[in-house]
A and B are shown apart, each in its own frame.
Chain A
Amino acid sequence: MGTRQFNVLPGFNLALGYTLAYLSLVVLIPLGAVFLKSATLSLEEFWAVVSAPRVVATYKISFGLSLLAATINACFGLLLAWALVRYSFPGKKIVDALVDLPFALPTAVAGIALTALYAGNGWLGQYLEPLGIKVAFSPLGILVALIFIGLPFVVRTVQPILEDLEVELEEAAASLGAHRWQIFRLVILPVLLPALLTGFALAFARAVGEYGSVIFIAGNLPFVSEITPLMIITKLEQYDYAGATAIAVVMLVLSFILLLVINLLQAWATPLQQNGRKS
């Protein structure tokens, strides 16, 4: 891509200053305010709030289900992107546009639609519930909502890379005697992996913070289907602003660590990509 020595845009200082100022204004100052507000609690109070059993149960649900939803989206989002790039079929442009809908739809609308669909008297729920599969008002419902809102992230990050990937590479591999699985694992996947991880990270980050759609379908039972953002809202409604920010700080730190790990994984995957291209 670009070179390291030559800068197209002049004025490194100006650009860096602008970047820092912008980032501070938009991201760092609001987050700093969260940390400051939570600092009004003593250390014991802070710990008591964030380690309450009911709150801990929500971390497991929020982070566990978000990771699961992002994993599922990584698999099926890749499949979707593959179908959109490699095949042509009638209505492809429409399917392509549909992928972005979860971006545009107000999350509350998504939540209500999914709940109506999966409730015991809904179109899908009426067939699933007799089979003992309860989707709406259960953790499974949360997973469905999180998959819905996270899907576009994986598709949209993987798609451009797939478009750049030359079919000739696969043909060459095939002519050298590689099986389909070998081609996928050794030729395609290394190139896609960084983008796939980015999509995964974005879908995960989006899912962890999601409130609007989940709240309608979750059922919100303590220890069963409460998400961490609901705990924050609950504290806010009780005018416990410091307690709410304490939980927010824990979420921020956990999310930051997880995103950092994913970034490190990406850094580890990127040289693989270059090797893959060279060979």
Chain B
Amino acid sequence: MFLHHLSQKGKGPRGNLLKGLLVLGLLASGAARADVTLLNVSYDVSRELYKEINPAFVAHWEKRYPEKLTINQSHGGSSKQAGAVIGGLEADVITMNQAPDIDILVERGGLVAADWRQKFPHDAAPYTTVSIFLVRKGNPKGIKDWSDLAKPGVSVIVPNPKTSGNGRYTWLGAWGYALQQYKGDEAKAKEFVGKLFANVPVLDGGGRGATTTFTQRGVGDVLVTFENEAVLIDKEVGGDQFDVVYPSSTIEAAAPVAVVDAVADKRGTKDAARAYLNFLFSPEGQEIIARHNFRPRDPAVQKKYEARFPLIRTFTVEGALGGWAKVQKAHFADGGLYDQIAAKR
């Protein structure tokens, strides 16, 4: 609302109450006249992506509206960032890598509308990525699939599933693969995942930490991480030290986004926030997303970049594992499957 009135301001002043309110609002917001700022609170490795998305959206926005738009970014571990928003960080939008970090904002204080998944296409996830393997050049241990990670003598680098979305997806990827292999036998799946995690010599707090351990410290035969991270390492850090391996099937990680309604309503930024998130689903936004090695949703952009994203059999938390609420409780809550397996080490 606020923005619409701003955009009509030039057309002919009619002294009404709303205009008076507008002036008051501007005075309250200080010297920054007619400027809009958005704060996007995001996870750790989306830094490079939003560095490119933000100027593109600002250009797109300023073509249509007279006011100046500034987008501020905040990055960190996904759950920590959600915790900051609960604690009062005034985020207009949040862009995360797992749905529980947005669901928690619904649960605690109702900062986000409960039906946030329906507010944007594709369950409000503008892109996905998949959990894949990065091995040392020439693949000396012959790692081809999840089953190879559970073999004795293979050292696997994974971030901590309790503290990192990346690690959580790895755990669920192994679990989903095992369920497929053993035709839904949970006891056997548990044994398989137990063997795999017994091969983990270091549990880093987050995805980037695991990357450093594998690439810089030379620990481990295989790193399980998101495709965008693996490709980035292979291209930028690796030189010619690593190979990317796609397993026979893996988990698809959708990166959900939402407007933080409570904050956007209060700050009068809802239109800009919505337009910003919609931009992620536009062909222009999808193109930038694909360039950063995240799998786009737009069929035309998918086609254009199909060489980058090998077709691979995937499953999702919602489709194969019964949804996040169930998974959180069964796997990651205190005393859940992860704790049981950790206790057996």
What residues of chain A have their CB less than 8 Å away from a CB belonging to chain B?
A: 49, 52-54, 115-116, 119-122, 136-137, 215-216, 219-224, 233-234, 236-240, 243
From B57-65, B216-224, B317-325, the one touching the partner chain is B216-224
What residues of chain B have their CB less than 8 Å away from a CB belonging to chain A?
A: 77, 79-80, 82-83, 86, 104, 108, 160, 162-163, 200-205, 209, 213, 216-219, 332-334, 339, 342-343, 345
Q: What 19 additional pairs, Cβ within 8 angstroms, besides A216-B209, A237-B80?
A: A52-B334, A54-B339, A54-B342, A136-B217, A137-B213, A219-B201, A219-B202, A221-B200, A221-B201, A222-B343, A223-B345, A224-B345, A233-B163, A234-B163, A236-B80, A237-B162, A238-B79, A239-B82, A239-B83
Which 10 residue pairs of A and B lie closest in terms of their CB atoms, listed nearest first? A222-B342, A121-B218, A119-B217, A237-B79, A219-B202, A220-B203, A237-B163, A137-B202, A234-B162, A234-B163
Chain B nearest Cβ from A42, distance in angstroms = 15
Q: Give every chain B residue within 8 A of A122 (Cβ-Cβ).
A: 217
**Contact between A220 and B160, CB atoms less than 8 A apart:** yes
A-B contact pairs, 22 of them (CB 8 A): A54-B342, A115-B217, A116-B217, A119-B217, A119-B218, A120-B218, A136-B217, A137-B202, A219-B202, A219-B203, A220-B203, A220-B204, A221-B200, A221-B203, A221-B345, A222-B342, A224-B345, A234-B163, A236-B80, A237-B79, A237-B163, A238-B333
CB-CB under 8 A for A137 and B201, given A54-B343, A243-B334: yes
Residue of A52, A121, A224, A238 near B217 (CB, 8 A) is: A121
Cα–Cα, bound, A49→B203 (Å): 22
Cα–Cα, bound, A127→B204 (Å): 24
Cα–Cα, bound, A236→B345 (Å): 24
Q: Give every chain A residue within 8 A of B162 (Cβ-Cβ).
A: 234, 237-238
CB-CB under 8 A for A220 and B343, given A120-B217, A237-B77: no
Find the A residue at minimum CB distance from B206.
A237
Cα–Cα, bound, A213→B75 (Å): 21
Q: Give every chain B residue within 8 A of A236 (Cβ-Cβ).
A: 80, 83
**Contact between B203 and A53, CB atoms less than 8 A apart:** no
**Contact between A238 and B205, CB atoms less than 8 A apart:** no
Q: Give every chain A residue within 8 A of B343 (Cβ-Cβ).
A: 53-54, 222-223
Q: Give every chain B residue within 8 A of A49 (Cβ-Cβ).
A: 334
Cα–Cα, bound, A223→B79 (Å): 24
Find the B residue at minimum CB distance from A121.
B218
Cα–Cα, bound, A219→B210 (Å): 10
Chain A nearest Cβ from B288, distance in angstroms = 29
Find the A residue at minimum CB distance from B200.
A221
Q: Give every chain A residue within 8 A of B213 (Cβ-Cβ).
A: 137
Q: Give every chain A residue within 8 A of B202 (Cβ-Cβ).
A: 137, 219-221
Q: Give every chain B residue within 8 A of A53 (Cβ-Cβ).
A: 343
Cα–Cα, bound, A262→B136 (Å): 51
**Contact between B332 and A238, CB atoms less than 8 A apart:** yes
Chain A nearest Cβ from B206, distance in angstroms = 10
Q: Give every chain A residue within 8 A of B219 (Cβ-Cβ).
A: 119-120, 137
Cα–Cα, bound, A54→B219 (Å): 25
Chain B nearest Cβ from A3, distance in angstroms = 50
Find the A residue at minimum CB distance from B87.
A241
Q: Give every chain B residue within 8 A of A224 (Cβ-Cβ).
A: 345
Find the B residue at minimum CB distance from A118.
B217
Q: Give every chain B residue within 8 A of A136 (Cβ-Cβ).
A: 217
**Contact between B83 and A222, CB atoms less than 8 A apart:** no
Q: Give every chain A residue within 8 A of B160 (Cβ-Cβ).
A: 220, 234
Chain B nearest Cβ from A54, distance in angstroms = 7
**Contact between A220 and B205, CB atoms less than 8 A apart:** yes
Chain B nearest Cβ from A124, distance in angstroms = 13
Chain B nearest Cβ from A84, distance in angstroms = 35
Q: Give every chain B residue within 8 A of A221 (Cβ-Cβ).
A: 200-203, 345
Cα–Cα, bound, A53→B203 (Å): 19
Q: Give every chain A residue within 8 A of B163 (Cβ-Cβ).
A: 233-234, 237
Q: Give every chain B residue within 8 A of A243 (Cβ-Cβ).
A: 334
Cα–Cα, bound, A237→B333 (Å): 12
